[in-house]
A and B are shown apart, each in its own frame.
Chain A
Amino acid sequence: MFKDITIGQYIDGSSFLHRMNASMKIILTFVIIVMLFVISHIVPYVLFIAFSVFLVFLSKVPPLYILKGLRPMIFIIVFTVILNLFLTPGETLWQQKILFGWTVKITYEGVRMSILMFLRLTLLVTVTSLLTLTTSPIMLTDGIEKILKPLEVIKVPAHEIAMMMSIAIRFIPTLAEETEKIIKAQTARGADFESGNIIMRAKAMIPILVPLFVSAFRRADELATAMDARCYHGGKNRTRMKQMKMCANDYIAAGMTVLLSAVLLLTQYLI
């Protein structure tokens, strides 16, 4: 279950998306996500879905990989869909009396809203996992650092934030793997994580969480020592092995995103 999380699992490649500048990719992903939350009509959604499919194709990441990345999100998506389906007020399509005079009803707006939320969340995960699948964590944080750089004027610790994020991202798969090993070790001792009521299940998590925290702290300690040993002292006067530069690809991508946004806004507000 844990190894399915695709965040932070970079797939090496040399596609158009892989070769793009990380800062540009982050900014454009952000723009696309904002667009995703602006649009609500069917035409822009169809366009958006087509564009996402095009992006997946462009990234050359196996589509199955992205679908697997969606799996841990299923609960949240289903939950949101159900909430929206039953709790949106509006024109009633179907209703049913249940106990104590409560009625459940499904409205036209509710159906519309839940389809919208389903598409929104799925596309959101797809687009963001494309970013992390085609950008190595180091590139990603370099990109974030570049974007935050102008804010250093108002004392935002851009380098430190970027470093903390890169470490966090880097350790997600490691800790996930570790969690799996711990679960196996405790299962071998007859621990049961699947049955019982909610309190029993929460209690059953303790044998997993304690070793996980202990190991996370130990790793943090070791990492700090390793960084110290190599004279890490923050971002000041730090040079880079790989200089990030904008190239033609990035301008093409930016142009495409602006064009897409314009088309989405037009179809959203004019049709």
Chain B
Amino acid sequence: MIKTENLNYIYQPGMPYEKHALYDVNIEIPDGDFVAVIGHTGSGKSTLIQHLNGLIKPTSGHIFIDGTDITQPKVDMKSIRKKVGLVFQYPEHQLFEETVYKDIAFGPKNMGLHQDEIKERVMEASRLVNIDESILEKSPFDLSGGQKRRVAIAGVLSMHPKILILDEPTAGLDPRGRDSLLEVLTSLHDKLNMTIILVSHSMEDVAKVAKNIIVMNKGTVFMHGSVAEVFERGRELIEIGLNVPQVTQLFNKLNEMGAGLPADIYTVKYAAKILDERMKGINNV
């Protein structure tokens, strides 16, 4: 479980470019959650998630990972980073080895594991993210954007994290790459009961995969609730420059015109089902 207490962070304090990035952030993310973090650029999303595995030390406040306060000195950061895996937005920032295999093995190697164990973990991680075995001997720089991201995720999964944090993993991917990545995340959550924290700009992606949503605005937690609870307050989201999924926008418009459809439609799949039922109803009359 992740818990933060009055988390504050200031970039470059005392400098002309001083910036208060987080104000008194208090969140609780239970085990097995699939939570999306949404917010405007500069709302503090990235700063927040980097606190969760100790890459950034808070200016004040506390962070508890499974009860351990990681802001205290003498905490074994390596074991925290093993528990909380963080995948950055650009795989280009972490891929460096000659082959995909070696790159995925980098994390386990740093953990000082035995060769056989490393091999097992690399194979397992690449299976989890649907990387074909034939790719493992290729150079990571020869892969497509979507493949690179999956390799980057495998590089973190091979460390067996309990919690996986991803910073805009689908940005810049084509629809197929995006879908297959989201599928990977869903299966990690469903099959391994991994806690997943997903930073995203896409309301569609969020509605499709997440259970809960944290909305960040100007360094504070603006909302924190289930997908339905957050998207219900669409007007407030629009006021802070965010939005609800396109399909919700469409259904809201239809309802304004008096269509009398349910208001809790956030995914295309569910919308299709509702419309289908509606059509059947009309045909039967």
Residue contact B88 to A188, C-beta cutoff 8 Å: yes
Which of A11, A188, A190, A218 sits near B111, CB closer than 8 Å? A190
Instruction: Contact check, B156 vs A188: say whether CB atoms are below 8 A apart.
Output: yes
Among B14, B90, B94, B156, the one with the most A-chain Cβ atoms within 10 Å of its Cβ is B94
- Tell whether A182 pairs with B93 under 8 Å between CB atoms, given A188-B53, A189-B155: yes
Contact with B along A190-218 (1 / 0, CB 8 A): 11100000000000001100110011001
A210 — nearest CB in chain B belongs to which residue? B96
Asked if A215 and B92 sit within 8 Å, CB to CB, the answer is yes
A171 to chain B minimum Cβ distance, whole angstroms, is 16
> A188: which of B12, B86, B96, B141 is its contact (CB, 8 Å)?
B86
CB-contacts of B20-70 with A (<8 A): 50, 53, 55
A-B pair count, CB < 8 Å, reads 68
Q: In angstroms, how far is the closest chain B Cβ from the Cβ of A264?
A: 32
With an 8 A cutoff between CB atoms, is B106 at the interface? yes
For the complex, is B81 an interface residue (Cβ under 8 Å from A)? yes
B110 at the interface (CB under 8 A from A): yes
| Binary per-residue interface labels of chain B (99-133) against chain A in the complex, 1 for a CB within 8 Å, 0 otherwise | 00000001100110000000000000000000000
Interface 1/0 per residue, A42-79 and B, CB below 8 Å: 00000000000000000000101100100000000000
- Residue pair A207, B81 in contact (C-beta under 8 Å): no
B192 at the interface (CB under 8 A from A): no
User: What is the distance, in angstroms, from B189's C-beta to the closest C-beta of chain A?
Assistant: 20
Q: How far apart are the CA atoms of A11 and B85 in the complex, in Å? A: 37
> Smallest CB–CB gap between A205 and chain B, Å?
11
Chain B min CB distance to A5 (Å): 13
Q: Are A184 and B92 in contact (CB under 8 A)?
A: no
Q: B86 touching A190 by the CB < 8 A rule?
A: no
Task: Please list the 10 inter-chain residue pairs (A to B) with the smallest Cβ-Cβ separation, ordered nearest first.
Answer: A190-B110, A210-B96, A185-B94, A189-B107, A188-B86, A185-B93, A185-B88, A182-B93, A207-B96, A184-B55
Can you list 16 A-B contacts (CB < 8 A)?
A3-B12, A62-B16, A64-B14, A68-B15, A181-B90, A184-B55, A187-B55, A188-B85, A188-B88, A188-B156, A189-B94, A191-B106, A192-B110, A207-B96, A210-B96, A218-B92
Query: In the complex, given contacts A65-B15, A181-B90, what are 15 additional A-B residue pairs having Cβ atoms less than 8 angstroms apart?
Result: A64-B14, A64-B15, A178-B93, A181-B88, A181-B93, A182-B94, A188-B55, A188-B81, A189-B110, A189-B155, A190-B110, A190-B159, A207-B106, A214-B92, A215-B93
